[in-house]
Chains A and B, each alone.
Chain A
C-alpha cells in the first residue's frame, strides 16, 4: 500500500522535472522564432515605407523623413531607433534626438547593407536591421530592433505553463493525503483492533477519540466493532463485580473463614481468621490448624472429623486456638466439605468468643466487687423501686444483712425521701439520662443518722434497666474538707512568703548598681537585670537580642567566643577584668564574673555575666602609682641626704676631736688642769655627736633599706651578739639564756640590728646588778611572740610611752651611756615586719621587751610549713 503511494509521488515528481526540462528547451525555440519574426516584420515595414521614403529623399524633404522615422519608433515598442542613408550612402535622417551615435557611424558605408549587426546599447541588446530602399542602391533604412520586449513575452508564456503544472502536482498530493487519512488509516486501525480483540484484549474505552473516516462502509465496520467490544466489557465488569462482592463478603466477614485440606493444611484464610490467630495473613497458608490447636483438644477434634466424614458437616462446637503470642483464644467452629477441582476441602467458619467469655467473667467480678466494696453502693429496680443488690459497705454501714436490704426500698433507709419525689427522680433519669446528685441523711438499723451525698445513674436498657446508686458518707468528708482548707491556707501562707522573698530578691537585683546580664550560647543577650540599663546606657528593649560581644570593644567575634564563652563552658565560671563600652562610647573598666546558666534539665543554656564598675578603683590605683613615684623620689633624696650627713657631718667632728687631742698632746703642758678638762669635754661632745649621727643613720636605714626576708635563726644571731658584747667587756660575767631554734621569716641584717639594740640595752642596764641575767625565749602567752628579759635596773612604767621615741632616754647619760635612738630603731624594725613590741618593767626589777614576728612566709598555710620542716 505504502509502496504504491511512494511510486505515485515519485512519478509525479519525475513528470514535473521532465516537463521543466522540456519548458527550458521550448523557451530557446520560442526565442529564435520570435527573433526571426521581428526581422521579417522589420523588413516588411522597411518595404512598406521604401517608396514614400525614396520619394521624400529625392524631393529633399528630410524633415518629413525624420518625422516619419520618429513616428515609427514611437509606435513600435520593439523598434529602438531608425535612420536613413541617401543615395550616396551618407546619413540622410535619423530618429535620435541628441545626434547620431558614434557607434553607428561605421555602419554608414557598409558593404553589405542587409547584414544584421547586433550591438550593445542602453543595457539592452539591439539588432541593427538594414533594409535597402531600392535594391542595388546605397539608400538604406536602418531599424534598431530591441530584443528585450520579445524575450519578456516568451518568459511570460513559459511561466504560465510552469504554474499550471505546479497546480496539477498540488492536487495530486492533496488527493494522496485524503486517501491515506480517510481510507487506509481507519482500515489499518480496525484491522489492528480486531487482531487485539482476538488475542483477548478488551480495551476499557471506545476508540472514538479519533475522527471517523467519513466513508459510510468503513465507519459502520468500526461502529460494529465498538459495539461488540462494549458488550463484552459490560459482561466482564459484571463478573468482576460479582467476584469482588463475594470476596468482600469473605474478606470483611467478622467471622474467621478458612479453607483447609483434609489433613489440616490451611489453604486460604480471611483477615478475621488471621486476626483471631494473631498470625500475619500471608504466613497462614501452608501452616496446619493442628499447629494452633492445643493438645488437649485433639480427641474432641478427631470426633468432629469423624462427624465431618459421615455427614459432610461438623460443629458448631467450641475449643481454643493458641494465639501467636501464646495466649489462648476461645473460638466457636463449624464447617462443611466442599469439592474443588476434584479435591475435597474443609470450609470452616471460626468465631472469636472471648468477648462473651469476658462478659461472663465481668459479671462474676462485678458480683465480687459488690460483695467486697467498702463503699455504699446499691442497684435499684426503677419500676418497683426495690433494692436489687447492695455492696458490703452498704450492709455494714446500715447494719443490715444483704437479704434484709433486698427487701427494702430507698425510702426505708432515707426516711426524708418521699415516694413521689423518688418517682420524679427516676422519671427524669429515664427521660434525660445523666447523673443526679442528691444530699440527705441515711438511717441505720438503730435509728442513728449520718449525712450522705447520693449519686444516681440509670444503667442498661429496656428490661435490663437498673439504677446505680453510690453513696458518700459526708461525715468523714466534712472532716477532710476542714483539714484540706487548713492545708490550703498553710500553702497560701507559704506561697506568700516565697513571693515576698522573690520580690525582695528582684528588688535587690533591680536596685544593685552592678549589671547582671544573661546570654544564650550564641552570645545573644537574653536578660538585662540589675543596673544594666544605667551601667551600659541601654534599656532592656535595646539590649535584648543584641550580641553580648558588642559590649566588648576589644573582642572580635572569634576572640570573644574563645576568650569568654568557651572557658565558661569548660570551667563553669570565669573571673577577669575587662574594659567594656557604654552606649555613649565611654570606657567602663569592669570586674567581670561569668557563670554558666543551666536549664531545668541541667544542660548549659547560656551565661550569666555580672559586671562591677571598677573605674574608681582604677583611678585610685593610678593615684597610688603617682604617690608611690613621688615617695620614691623623696626616698632617694633622703638617701642622698643621709649619705651626705654620714660624710660631711662627721668630718668637722673629726677635726674638733682630732685637733683637741693635738692641742692636748702638743700644748697640754701649757694648760692648767681646768683647760685640759675643757678640751676633754670638747672631745667627748664631738664623739657623742658622732654616735648620735651613726644611730640616726641606722634608724633611717631601717626605713629605707630594702627588705630581703628569709628564714632567720634568732637564737643564733643572739648568741653572736652576746659574744661581741662579751668581747667588748671581757671582765663582766653575765648569765645568758637563749632558747634554741627560734626561727622567724625576716630580714637577717635588720634582725641583727634589732637584737644588737635589745641585748645591748640588757647588757648595759644590768651593769650594776649583782647577778646579771639576760634571756631570749619565745613567749608562753602569745604565739609568734618572743621576749628579751633582764634583771637590770628596769624603769618606771609611767614613762613607758616615751620609750620607743627617738632621743628618748629614761636614764641619765652619766648613769648609762646611750643616744636614745636604739629602741626607736627596734620598734621600726619590728613594725616593718608587721609585728608589735611592748615593754614591761619595774624600777629595780629588770625589764622585759616582747615582740611579734612572722614565723612563716606570707600566704603559706601553717600545716604546709610544718610538713616542709
Chain B
C-alpha cells in the first residue's frame, strides 16, 4: 500500500488554499489530492477519464467533500461512492458552508462519516482541521488497510 493521502473535493480555490493551509498548520504532512468538481471526484475514485492511468485500488485515507459543487453536487458524489462496493467504506467528511439542517440529515443518511461546517473565522477553521486530521489521518484505521 502506498502512502496515506487525503482527497479534497472543492471547487472554490480560496477554500482549497485555506483548507490545505489549515491542514498544514496542524502538521498534517500527507499528500493532498484535489478534485474541483463532483465528476472529477468520481473519475478520480474510479480511475476513469483523465484518471484512467491511476491504480483504482489506491484509495484515499479520507475524502473531504464540499456539497455545493459544479456538475455533480456533493450529495450525488456521496451516493455514488456508497453505492459502489469498493468505495463503500471510504471515510467521507462533509465539509461545507451550509448549516442547513436538511443538508446535514441528508449527508448522514447517505452514509457520511462526519459533517463539519466551514467556519468563517479562520482560527476556528484551523481548530476544526486539526481535529479532523488528527482523527482521520492518525487515529482512525481505515477498514481496507
The answer to whether A and B come from one shared complex is yes
Q: Which residues of A contact B (CB under 8 A)?
A: 643, 646-648, 650-655, 657-662, 683, 686-687, 689-690, 694, 697
Q: CA A254 – CA B133 in complex, angstroms?
A: 141
7 closest A-B pairs (Cβ-Cβ)?
Answer: A690-B120, A655-B14, A661-B122, A658-B18, A658-B122, A650-B97, A647-B97
Contact between A654 and B97, CB atoms less than 8 A apart: yes
**Additional A-B contacts beyond A654-B120, A690-B120 (14; CB < 8 A):** A643-B98, A647-B96, A647-B97, A648-B68, A648-B97, A653-B120, A654-B125, A655-B15, A658-B18, A658-B122, A658-B125, A662-B21, A686-B120, A690-B121
B14 touches A654 (CB 8 A): yes
| Nearest chain A residue, comparing its CB with the CB of B121 | A687
Chosen A-B contacts, 23 in total, with CB atoms closer than 8 Å, are A643-B100, A646-B98, A647-B98, A648-B68, A650-B97, A650-B120, A651-B12, A651-B14, A652-B14, A654-B14, A654-B15, A655-B15, A655-B18, A657-B122, A658-B14, A658-B122, A659-B18, A661-B122, A661-B123, A683-B121, A683-B122, A686-B120, A687-B120
Docked CA distance A654–B15 (Å): 8
Q: Hey, which chain A residues are within 8 Å of B125, CB to CB?
A: 654, 658
A646 contacts B99, C-beta separation under 8 Å: yes
Proximity bits, B74-109, A CB within 8 Å = 1, else 0: 000000000000000000000011111000000000
By beta carbon, the residue of chain B nearest A666 is B21
Tell which of A650, A654, A690 touches B18, judged by Cβ atoms closer than 8 Å: A654
Q: Are A659 and B14 in contact (CB under 8 A)?
A: yes
A683 to B124, CA, bound (A): 12
Partner among A643, A654, A687 whose Cβ is within 8 Å of the Cβ of B118: A654
The docked-state distance in angstroms from the alpha carbon of A651 to that of B12 is 8
CA distance A423 to B21 in the complex (A): 152
Q: How far is the CB of A296 from chain B (nearest CB, A)?
A: 117
Chain A minimum-CB-distance residue to B126: A661
Tell me, rounded to whole Å, the shortest Cβ–Cβ distance linking A647 to chain B. 5
> What per-residue 1/0 map shows which CB atoms of B45-78 lie under 8 Å from chain A?
0000000000000000000000110000000000
* Most chain B C-beta atoms within 10 Å of own C-beta, residue among A646, A683, A689, A690: A646
Nearest residue (CB) in B for A642 is B100
**Closest chain A residue to B125, Cβ basis:** A658
Q: How many Å lie between the Cα of A658 and that of B128 in the bound state?
A: 14
Q: Chain B: which residue is nearest A655 at the CB level? A: B14
Residue of A nearest to B14 (CB): A655
Are A650 and B118 in touch, CB under 8 angstroms? yes
Q: Is the CB of A647 within 8 A of B18?
A: no
Interfacial chain A residues near B12, Cβ < 8 Å: 651, 655
Contact with A along B8-37 (1 / 0, CB 8 A): 000010110110010000000000000000
Out of B67, B68, B120, name the residue touching A657 (CB < 8 Å).
B120
CB distance from A695 to the nearest CB of B (A): 12
Q: How far is the CB of A825 from chain B (nearest CB, A)?
A: 15
**A639 smallest CB distance to B (angstroms):** 9
What is the bound-complex CA distance between A661 and B17, given in angstroms?
13
The listed residue (B17, B21, B67, B99) touching A694 by CB distance below 8 A is: B99
Specify which chain A residues have a CB less than 8 angstroms from the CB of B15 in the assembled complex.
Answer: 651, 654-655
Residues of A within 8 A of B123 (CB): 661
Q: With the chains together, A660 CA to B14 CA distance in Å?
A: 12
> Smallest CB–CB gap between B108 and chain A, Å?
17
In the docked arrangement, what's the CA distance between A689 and B121, Å?
11
User: Given A647-B68, A651-B12, A651-B15, are A657 and B121 also a contact pair (CB < 8 Å)?
Assistant: yes
Which residues of the partner chain B approach A652 to less than 8 Å between Cβ atoms? 14
Residues on A with beta carbons closer than 8 Å to the beta carbon of B118 = 650, 654
Find chain B residues with CB under 8 A from A661 CB.
122-123
- In the bound complex, what is the Cα–Cα distance between A651 and B121 (angstroms)? 11
Chain B window 104-145, contacts with chain A (Cβ cutoff 8 Å), 1 for yes, 0 for no: 000000000000001111110100000000000000000000
Interface centre among B97, B100, B125 (most CB of A within 10 A): B97
User: In the docked arrangement, what's the CA distance between A651 and B120, Å?
Assistant: 8
By a CB distance below 8 angstroms, the chain A residues around B17 are 658
Complex Cα gap A653–B120 (Å):
6
Shortest distance in angstroms between A642's beta carbon and chain B's nearest beta carbon? 8
Q: Which of A646, A686, A687, A689 contacts B97 (CB 8 A)?
A: A646
Assembly CA distance A689 to B96 (angstroms): 18
Instruction: Please give, as numbers and ranges, the residues of chain B lying within 8 Å of A689 by CB-CB distance.
Output: 120
**Smallest CB separation, A691 vs chain B (Å):** 8
Residues on the B chain within 8 Å of A687, using CB: 120-121
User: In the complex, what's the smallest C-beta–C-beta distance from A524 to chain B, in angstroms?
Assistant: 63
Residue in chain A with minimal CB distance to B11:
A651
Q: Can you name the residue of chain B whose Cβ is closest to the Cβ of A691? A: B120
Closest chain-A Cβ to B18's Cβ sits at a distance in Å of 4
Whether the Cβ atoms of B21 and A651 lie closer than 8 Å is: no
Q: Chain B residues near A683 (CB, 8 Å)?
A: 121-122
Residues of A within 8 A of B121 (CB): 657, 683, 687, 690
Q: Are A646 and B100 in contact (CB under 8 A)?
A: yes
Give the distance in Å from the alpha carbon of A654 to the alpha carbon of B68 in the complex.
15
- Which residues from B are CB-within-8-Å of A650? 97, 118, 120
Closest A residue by C-beta to B18: A658
Chain B neighbourhood of A697, CB < 8 A:
99
Tell me whether A651 and B100 are in contact (CB under 8 A).
Answer: no
> Whole-angstrom distance between the alpha carbons of A667 and B110 in the complex?
43
Which residues of A sit under 8 angstroms from B98, Cβ to Cβ?
A: 643, 646-647
Bound Cα distance A132, B121 (Å)? 181
Shortest CB distance B23–A (Å)? 13
Taking CB atoms, residues of chain A closer than 8 Å to B100 are 643, 646
Chain A residues positioned under 8 Å from B21 (CB to CB): 658, 662
Minimum C-beta distance from B125 to chain A (A):
7
**Complex: A647 Cα to B12 Cα, angstroms:** 11
The CA of A658 and the CA of B123, in the complex, are separated in Å by 8
Complex Cα–Cα for A643 and B68 (A) = 10
Say whether B122 contacts A651, CB under 8 Å.
Answer: no
Please give, as numbers and ranges, the residues of chain B lying within 8 Å of A662 by CB-CB distance. Answer: 18, 21, 122
A703 to chain B, nearest CB (A): 15
Rounded to whole angstroms, the CA-CA distance of A257 and B12 in the bound complex is 142
Q: Which residues of A contact B119 (CB under 8 A)?
A: 654, 690
State in angstroms the CA–CA spacing of A569 and B123 once bound together: 80
- Of A646, A655, A658, most buried by chain B (CB within 10 Å of CB) is A658
Q: How far is the CA of A697 from the CA of B99 in the complex (A)?
A: 10
For A650, A660, A689, A697, which residue has the most chain B Cβ atoms within 10 angstroms? A650
Which B residues touch A658, using CB under 8 A? 14, 17-18, 21, 122, 125
Instruction: Identify the closest chain A residue to B25 (Cβ).
Output: A665
Taking CB atoms, residues of chain B closer than 8 Å to A686 are 120
**A700–B87 alpha-carbon span in the complex (Å):** 38
CA distance A661 to B15 in the complex (A): 14
A650 to B21, CA, bound (A): 18
| A651, B18: Cβ atoms closer than 8 Å | no
A643 to B97, CA, bound (A): 10
Query: Shortest Cβ distance from A613 into chain B, in angstroms?
Result: 46
Docked Cα-Cα span, A690 to B124, in Å, equals: 13
The distance in angstroms between the C-alpha atoms of A643 and B123, with both chains bound, is 25
* A90 CA to B14 CA, complexed, in Å: 169
Known: A661-B122, A662-B21, A687-B121. A651 touches B99 (CB 8 A): no
Minimum CB–CB distance from B17 to chain A (whole Å) comes to: 8
Quote the shortest CB–CB distance from B130 to chain A (angstroms).
15
- Docked pose: A762 CA to B68 CA in angstroms: 37
B-chain residues with CB within 8 Å of residue A694 when the two chains form the complex:
99
Report how far A648 CA is from B67 CA in the complex, Å.
12
Among A655, A662, A697, chain B packs the most CB atoms within 10 A around the CB of A655
- Closest Cβ of chain B to A657, distance in Å, is 5
Smallest distance from the beta carbon of B7 to chain A beta carbons, Å? 20
Whole-angstrom distance between the alpha carbons of A811 and B33 in the complex? 48
Question: CA separation between A786 and B17, bound complex, in Å?
Answer: 50
CA distance A653 to B100 in the complex (A): 18
Question: Which residues on B sit within 8 Å (CB–CB) of A647?
Answer: 67-68, 96-98
Cα distance A651–B67 when bound, in Å?
Answer: 13
Residues on the B chain within 8 Å of A660, using CB: 122
Nearest chain B CB to A750's CB is how many angstroms away?
12
For the complex formed, measure the closest distance between the CB of A678 and the CB atoms of chain B, giving whole angstroms. Answer: 16
Nearest-Cβ distance from residue B100 to partner chain A, whole angstroms? 6
